[in-house]
Structure 1
Amino acid sequence: MYAGQLIAGRYRLVAEGRSGGHGVVWHATDEVLDCAVALKHARAGSAPISEREARKLAKARHPNVVQVLDFVRTDGQTWLVMEYLPERTLADAGRLSEEQVARLGAALADGLAAVHDADILHCDITPANVLLTKAGTAKLSDFGIARDVHLDATLDSGPLVQGTPGYLAPEIAEGGAPTPESDVFALGATLFAALEGSTPFGPRDENPLVLLRNTTAKNIAAPHRSPILRPALSALLRADPARRPTAAQARTLLRDTADRAQEISRTLERRTQRYRIARRTALAVLGGAVVAMLAAADRPTTAQTAAAVAPGLRIGDTHTADPCGLEDAANLSRFGSARIDPDQGNFDRCDIMIGPEDDPTDVKLVFGDPTADDPTGPIERHGELRIMGPPGNSDDCDRTILLPDRYQISIDTVHTGGGAQLCEISQAAATDVVNRLSHSGIPRRKAPIAEDSLINQDTCGLPDAEALARFPGIDANRPIPGFGNWQCRWLSTTGSGTLLVIFDRNTPLTAADGTPTRESGHTVYTESDGFGAGTCAAKIVHRDYTTQFSTTAEELALVVILGPLPPDLRCRKATEIAGSVAQHLPAVSGTEAGGVPPPR
């Protein structure tokens, strides 16, 4: 093979590119369509790809999978023709942040699910086999030893162990057959490397035999750089393949983790901004007018913009901002019967339900804390307001409205069965919210708020010092509050653990929602994995109330522990801390609106 060679009368080889143990990839030109393509053929000693396998790979069309375009046989060789991408891989990207790893992992898991749905196993997911586009989209590539799940032959029949040491599942290192579960493990190991800079079995440049020995011994390291990402990665890296999530479940787990990581980064930024403001104030007092001028020049974007923002577009008192006033449900009635449900989730959220009551599409409107990050992805400007869509070619339908004072409003449209209209609904809702804000400003709560409602409480002040001391290494002096102080996090300084206290509203809980106990006069339902894998949630029932639909709902305070503790110990500590939180909740009046009795 040589540059300039014409393959199958159509594909002109330009330059040899990546070369692995199972094949060689060439940059080529499709002379029929006049576009760049990548051509791959198996190395000598490796079994060529079959037409059946190529056909299945071609059907696995997904934005996070390198697309197979053609399959040709010529001069006794078989070639796979694929979309061409610049040769930048995840291995070249260095260590990434926890949110970047979770977002990228969710996208790759989605692509892997599409591959599995096509009855194909990848068998060699590694950082070097994840290509990154200029826009930052991650794509699974190099199906060099992929196999059809219904066939015994693989694209590489030579090695005794198929795959790359450091990323192999233990059952593969022991000589077992590849499965979807082993692909999920390899994905987890790849994300581990992107986060930690090493494989779960040792450094990337470790002797392969040492890596294999650690793999067969199931010496799987736990990630330590991110307490938020640790439960998700630990689930993907479980030694028992039967206990690993599917690729589709991994996608959901990683997406939720990315959202939690983003939430923490936002609140940390808010704390940093407060510190900077306090520091500049002190400097101004000590240094006089000159220092004051220098400090003003260093004022963060949030403060600069807040001064220039029209009063109606400032969030101001977060407790009075009304998420249910952001949108009129009637504006979305073209998608089906629409109604507002103000009793879902935390107090920073309002839902619009569209369609049948037993299977609605849920449009979630949620206020968020200020962000210092520059917007990414497509942006629509509407005066002082901006609508941000997801970056790249993501199929995510979320929209975010950035306010002039850097506060945010997220719009997430979900339906259990998916649906082609989800993105259209999100965009319509975002446009309506922007129009409403431009005309009327931030909506304010008008209905009187019950004195005993949790909306009046500060989650960061609920657990006392004794309760916080029950969590190993918790930094009790550095709580991380969320919007309205309706959620609060504490991070461990000695390990990878997190404590979260968050308010919620829900239909009345039952024994199906956890093991019920009585703590400080309140019913508490404690559930392992109740806030995601690797967590324990103790759900404190504060009070019952009657909704606008004449149904009963409950205000809850959730105590959630995330981290490496054994499940029983994790739940025991969550329940103990819940007892302290329950003790500091406000007293509930004898009868609630609508005649509903106080909590049990």
Structure 2
Amino acid sequence: MRAGHVVGGRYRLEERLGSGSQGEVWRAADERLHDRPVALKRALSGGDRAAAAKVRKESEALASLNHPHVVTVHDLVEDKGDHWIVMEFVAGSSLADLGTVGADAAARYGAQLAGGLEAVHAEGILHRDIKPANVLVTEQGQAKLADFGIARQVHAEPTLTGTGAVTGTPGYVAPEVVRGGRYTAAADVFSLGATLFHAVEGTTPFGEGNAHALLWRTAQGDRVAPKQAGSLEPVLDRLLEADPKRRIGIGEAQAALARLSGEPVSGRARKPMRRRWIGAAAAASALVVLAAVLWPALRPAESGGEPGGDPGGGVAADYLGDERTADPCALLDLDRLGEFGETRLDSDYGGWPHCNVFIDTEVGYTNVELYFYSSEQEPDPGETTMEGPIGVIRYEGDHAGCKRNLVLPDGRDIVSIEATQDESGDADLCAIADTAVEGALAVLAEGEVPRRAQSPDPASTYYLDACDLLDNEALERFPGVNAHAPYRAFGDWRCDWYSTTSADEVHVSFDFNEPPTAEEYDLIDLAGRTAVVRGDDWGEHSCLVTVVHRQYPSVDGDGSTVAENVRVQVFGDETAAQDDLCDLATDLARSVAEALPDA
């Protein structure tokens, strides 16, 4: 491609501004609008129809956004098999080219960018690569977000780590993404913080070095202490919080940065809306509504009160409260479910965030399982509606099962409901699941989830932190482990570690089940406790070892005995031999057994 070529019969290429793995960028003139200057970026080549459709869809979404601190997308044109994104031409420099700036200037740029990013997120768009080179600063001192993932996803090679492909640039990408998690709005917030850190300090929050070194330090949480941030440091700390659950939200970040810099605080959307998160893995069908990562709560102007107030005046800001004391069984309405058969509650299966109702019929039984979990990942796509401030995602069911997810207003906490039956059953599982949803919503309409009626035995795993059961010495057996930054699941009842040198993972979690017997399993002894090794439980490239912590009569009063277990799971890639994985899982399970308190 050379200067003078007219793209799409309209845009005359004038000067190449840059080129590389992400494609060519040109300054061009729009011949239909009096040679208005525009920037053109070649989004893809090669005639890949699926990629072209994805680029078109995401360009249209960005074209609908008009914000002073986001580079505007004007058009998408096809020219001889290539697709070009037509964007606003910004006369100025990238933040990377400006060098270091003072804390006041960085706060001003940050407030502008946060306002733009909040608007982007409100449209369901994730940037996925915020860094100084992707921030343009005009000659008038206005910062603009540029270079969204619409071009990047079809050109740039992802950074490969032991946990797979990382979306983003080492040094600026969020720790949860480095550790193998999916990219969310909170990850964009971290990258914004890393960009502002670079603006004042001249380095990434994890220093300088090659990609592997930066990703390693990111996974370890090994941040560089700021020296020039001054009054900006407290906000940077909140933007760069390693735990995405505790990380500052983009709206709050914009307000905090604006206060530091004197920038005006931009207004926010005032009514709940469905959002579709657009990224490299977005669903192609426009008929499927994607659930939001962040489900907006009702605002005071609509609800008649402040969020977090009483049920008659507002929306509960935190429906779950203390994760450990929230009772999942309290959301299952046995009377409603009784229309499908005789119901019986089973609180002794699955684990502490779980509760089950069995519905006995003439031909068998149906199981309705409800459980809590928290996630920073995008919810799986499904038919989505809003029931007040709560998002309800309905998935297509079949004879074997039907699932529903209730996304609570913080966007992270999920109530999952699934109805299942065996092959002999003939129940309408989706009707049962929807009835369970109605019962749960009726309870949530009153406010916070009720607390557990009984406190577990002091010896129970209920009081344990799964991450405390493997110390650094034990984790040394796990090659390349990132021992200092595990993923903590709901209630700290599950803990996941990831290798930084391979695709291996280790999960430790608590569950309930019937006690294992010698007739069913080959029982082994680990540190004086009964254990079972099940190499094929989760596939050929995994191994599960279950350690029995204690046994006791069921609190449901049905005469059964419950085994309270700790599960150690090891996952590897397709090259991993299962025997090797089971050796590692057994070795780690022995350390877990030794760390357990007396039963």
How does the TM-score come out when normalised to structure 1?
0.50
